Structure 1
Amino acid sequence: MQYPIGIQDFASIIKGGLVYVDKTALVYDLSKTKGVYFLSRPRRFGKSLLVSTFKYYFEGRRDLFKGLKIDALEKDWNCYPVFEMDFNDSNYLEAGALEDTINYYLTKWEERYGVEPASSQAGRRFADVLHRAHEKTGKPCVVLVDEYDKPMLDVLDTGRKATADGNEQLLEDRNRDVLKAFYSVFKLADADLRFVFLTGVTRFAQVSVFSGFNNARDISMNPKYDTICGISKDELDSDFASSMAVLASTLELPVDEVRRQFQQKYDGYHFSTGMTDIYNPFSLLNAFSDGDLKDYWFASGTPSYLIRLLNHSDENIQDIIGRTYEAVEFADYRATVEAPVPMIYQSGYLTIKGYNREDDEYKLDFPNHEVASGFLAILASGYFHTQRPSNWATKMKKALHHGKPEAFRSLLNDFLASIPYSVRQGNGEKSHERQFQYSVYLIMRLIGSCRDTVYREKASSHGRADCVIETPKYVYIFEYKLDRPAAEAMQQIHDRGYAEPYAHDSREVYAIACSFSSETGTISDWEVSRE
């Protein structure tokens, strides 16, 4: 098989005989109703390919769709004037870059349809082009906008400024206003439009940019379109069965084990209450192509806007993933320094992991191990002021895999001793305790791998253990104390039966009581009991 890595043009994939997961039934379903539609998905999830598929479909290119699901559904294959905009190819850190991009597209379209600009306003110019195209072709127009939000994300929280009409304003506000005025065309040109489709990573601008037009339909959390981007489990089993067998042979592992590691590493995205499991297509295709299981998606680039936002936030990740949310809290509004959750979720670093229908509440967590390990490594680098906390985590992981809790203690203590004093400064006992809990949480989550499971506050019949790490051969039950004897923590493990769920487990089980010193920032007392 040949895999379309980095190829986002539908025609190139089909003509080149590359692997294509057939999404055309959903394309047909969505395109049947006139309207303005918006889809939010993380980067490298196939949004651009989807836009390209719409383009060729509305251009009537039936030859490209032979044998696909839409070929049996569509009977007319009408050709519409299509206007495609891709904001992903430019950098918007400089004032005027967005206006230049919009002007480039408008000038090209005006030349194509013989329109003399009658206004300097971009929205009005676009409306005139759409009207002329409708008149000349006799068909209403299709508008496709890919990565609509990039002009704002590039400058989000950078403090960069622009001057317009003699007034200075933040560049992110300027770009938002320019796009809002431009997108108002969808209201002005409603009679000339057949279908409008916009994609982006974030929906935070919906309350401002999209207010320029009415009746936009957001399908991002519609269960019907869960699989319109990404690869579902059924698609993995049907379209990549031979690829999975080849990969298993290359890795010298059973197919079922490769499938399990695939699931832990690349699966786990949920985009609605339907809770349909979606695999990251970029990582999956790269894994098949390379014959290896690496962190492809995360390594392809972490958005700088997200790092800027988190650097200014007072929230830490263990608090964010340890609670439930109403949809409005993470899906519908712009993230701020005080509330970064919407941006983290919409960017794909968190996903829906549970839904309570009765209370209409969602639980968020990392989608899979690839995202968790990469994201936590970045957070840890900033929090601990060290470039490679993952190096320490790798050594500690090896100690746990070989059943050496004392070696683990030594490594953990060395790591804690390396943390600058400024990181653990705080006012009062609760502040110190919170900092130690977060430090240990980051370390423990970094230790996790595809073969391990790390639980925070795992419940038993009588309480919750602070941390449980399950490896293929060993189980470690941790209880922490701050400035208290480790014996108290060990007594708590035994009194509350934290080890009882593993009574019939074939793995060796260790109870570990760990006491931290707020004065030294290291382990002051430690007890290990083999259960």
Structure 2
Amino acid sequence: MENMQRLYPIGIQTFSKIREGNYLYIDKTEYVYRMTHFASNYMFLSRPRRFGKSLLTSTLHSYFSGCKELFKGLAIEKLETEWTEYPVLHFDMSTAKHAGKDELISELERKLAAYERIYSRNEEDIYINQRLQGLIERAYKQTGKQVVVLIDEYDAPLLDVVHERENLDVLRNIMRNFYSPLKACDPYLRYVFLTGITKFSQLSIFSELNNIKNISMDKTYAAICGISEEEIRTQMKEDVNWFADGLRITPEEVLAKLKENYDGYHFTYPSPDIYNPFSLMNAFTDREFKSYWFGSGTPTYLIKMLKKFDVAPSEIGEIHADVTSFDAPTETMTNITPLLYQSGYITIKDYDEELEIYTLDIPNREVRVGLMKSLLPNYTGSSAQEAITTMAYFSRDIRNGDMDTALRRLQTFLSTVPYCDNTKYEGHYQQMLYVIFSLLGYYVDVEVRTPRGRVDMVLRTNTTLYVMELKLDKDASSAMEQINLKDYPERFALCGLPVVKVAVSFDCDRGTISDWKIVGNI
């Protein structure tokens, strides 16, 4: 196993390159056959970034190009008998990100020109919609076969300006114009497939094309992108054993770690557990459990929107909503939920059939820790790296059951960092501790109901449950009195862990902890 030379397709989104290069390919070709034989000829799929949308589109490209040899040994080999070659027009719109009006038109013209060199161009076709329509018609006439149109990341040119009404309208009109021939060209089209992050109806681009089947929440296609637990246990069984040998742990321990860090995605309900494929491939390559997906793109826009909608870190998870709430147009959203869901920061965790209400939450440890790392500087007023270093030592203190040293360390750290906004608000410190404890990977909750009131914060480690009361500009004794008066620990008597009461007082002028009291083993 140590000599195993498995190649993992990190960053490779071209099906032919993966197959010809002998990279690991998780077989999704049964879905490809089903998509192209039993459903609408116009289909749309929404998934978060780096979830395999582009690879799926590339797989369709190879399939419709009749590349039978690339599918040898895969599920579709036993299903397909014809392997007809169709003309394929494949447009990757991710190259049109961060573009203004002129740049966007120029990029679309460049994409059309590449196919016009194959199927020629009618000089009377001036505008991009005319050129696309003429291209489809000529490809059909020249080959005698209907045309396949694949559009990957159809919404990429619009995502950066989705909340800039003036710019959005201009760019949206360009894209609407570009896509408009798809309806008129229906007689010449064999298949149309689009991918994106936002649902196609949300950006009002395809208002005339009303026959697109959206398979994003179709149970049949729940595992079409990403990697399911079954696929890991079957198609990656040897990889798991190799991973385990390298770390000198059991395969089941590897699977548990992978599940904790990268699993937890569901795009419908019920759904198999779906793992983030980008993170999974990186983890197997490095044989380490690092933060890969979150680290691959700084969510500056997300952090900005969290501030705009005044969303506290503790409010990001455990959201209850009907489908219209989290799958709503992001351009007119009145809360952060649609953006969080479509971007992959929260996912479906449960569904109440009677009420038709979904429960949405952060999918896994990788996303939770990544989010909290990004939010931490907002609460400590320091650089992310400085804060993370301090948190590493803080984590060790908590792990050792030494809350006193942990609070002393935090007091010193907060005393040395620059001024931070909102330090005169008690909720600021509550959310700061929530972010810190979440970073450590422990269960933490705020405003926990008890028969006699609400506990400011509950922290559960592997060995201890901490019941915490926070006060601003009052001594810690008053916080401890409140814990004792309302007998908060009684609510947690059956948790199976020692319960420790922690009263913490913050000084708003100094922006740090003033004093604290700890009473243990209740």
Q: TM-score scaled to structure 2, two decimals?
A: 0.90
Q: Secondary structure at the match of 1:296?
A: coil
Letter aligned with residue 24 of structure 2: V
**CA distance in 1 between partners of 2:300 and 2:212 (Å):** 29
**CA distance in 1 between partners of 2:463 and 2:56 (Å):** 44
Mean CA deviation greater in 172-181 or 454-463: 454-463
Letter aligned with residue 502 of structure 2: I
**CA distance in 2 between partners of 1:307 and 1:204 (Å):** 25
**CA distance in 2 between partners of 1:362 and 1:140 (Å):** 41
Letter aligned with residue 529 of structure 1: V
Equivalent of 1:410 in 398, 403, 408: 408
User: What is residue 131 of structure 1 aligned with on the other side?
Assistant: 137
Q: Secondary structure at the match of 2:502?
A: strand
Does residue 48 of structure 2 align to residue 28 of structure 1?
no
Does residue 286 of structure 2 align to residue 290 of structure 1?
yes
Q: Secondary structure at the match of 1:209?
A: coil
User: What is residue 357 of structure 1 aligned with on the other side?
Assistant: 353
User: What is residue 183 of structure 2 aligned with on the other side?
Assistant: 187
**CA distance in 2 between partners of 1:153 and 1:520 (Å):** 41
User: What is residue 115 of structure 2 aligned with on the other side?
Assistant: 109
User: What is residue 377 of structure 1 aligned with on the other side?
Assistant: 373
User: What is residue 155 of structure 2 aligned with on the other side?
Assistant: 149
Equivalent of 1:433 in 422, 426, 431: 426
User: Contact 1:373/1:446 (CA < 8 Å) preserved in 2?
Assistant: yes
Superposition RMSD on alpha carbons, in Å? 2.5
Q: Deviations over 1:160-201 (max 9, x none)?
A: xxxxxxxxx843332211111111122121121121111112
**CA distance in 2 between partners of 1:295 and 1:404 (Å):** 27
Residues 281 and 422 of structure 1, relative CA distance in 2, 3 Å threshold: closer
Letter aligned with residue 102 of structure 1: L
In the alignment, structure 2 segments of 5+ residues that lack a partner are 1-5
User: Contact 1:264/1:368 (CA < 8 Å) preserved in 2?
Assistant: yes
User: Contact 1:28/1:74 (CA < 8 Å) preserved in 2?
Assistant: yes
User: What is residue 125 of structure 2 aligned with on the other side?
Assistant: 119
Letter aligned with residue 190 of structure 1: D
Mean CA deviation greater in 477-486 or 396-405: 477-486
User: Contact 1:483/1:516 (CA < 8 Å) preserved in 2?
Assistant: yes
Does residue 363 of structure 2 align to residue 367 of structure 1?
yes
Equivalent of 1:242 in 233, 238, 241: 238
Q: Secondary structure at the match of 1:467?
A: strand
Residues 470 and 59 of structure 1, relative CA distance in 2, 3 Å threshold: same
Does residue 486 of structure 2 align to residue 488 of structure 1?
no
User: What is residue 447 of structure 1 aligned with on the other side?
Assistant: 440
Residues 404 and 336 of structure 1, relative CA distance in 2, 3 Å threshold: farther
**CA distance in 2 between partners of 1:40 and 1:262 (Å):** 24
Percent sequence identity over matched residues? 38
User: What is residue 163 of structure 1 aligned with on the other side?
Assistant: none
Residues 193 and 418 of structure 1, relative CA distance in 2, 3 Å threshold: farther
Equivalent of 2:20 in 15, 21, 41: 15
How do 1:63-102 and structure 2 match up within 5 A?
63-102=69-108
Letter aligned with residue 85 of structure 1: F
Q: Deviations over 1:464-498 (max 9, x none)?
A: 64433333344433333445612234316745513
User: Contact 1:489/1:513 (CA < 8 Å) preserved in 2?
Assistant: no
The number of residue pairs the alignment matches comes to 510
User: Contact 1:325/1:363 (CA < 8 Å) preserved in 2?
Assistant: yes
User: What is residue 41 of structure 1 aligned with on the other side?
Assistant: 47
User: Contact 1:206/1:333 (CA < 8 Å) preserved in 2?
Assistant: yes
Q: CA deviation at 1:346?
A: 0.8
Q: CA deviation at 1:139?
A: 1.9
Q: CA deviation at 1:70?
A: 0.8
How do 1:271-420 and structure 2 match up within 5 A?
271-335=267-331, 338-388=334-384, 389-417=387-415
Q: Secondary structure at the match of 2:45?
A: strand
Q: CA deviation at 1:244?
A: 1.5
Letter aligned with residue 436 of structure 1: Y
**CA distance in 1 between partners of 2:144 and 2:57 (Å):** 23
Residues 40 and 134 of structure 1, relative CA distance in 2, 3 Å threshold: same
User: What is residue 518 of structure 2 aligned with on the other side?
Assistant: 528
Residues 303 and 402 of structure 1, relative CA distance in 2, 3 Å threshold: closer
Q: TM-score scaled to structure 1, two decimals?
A: 0.89
Does residue 502 of structure 2 align to residue 512 of structure 1?
yes
In the alignment, structure 1 segments of 5+ residues that lack a partner are 160-168, 427-431
User: Contact 2:379/2:428 (CA < 8 Å) preserved in 1?
Assistant: no
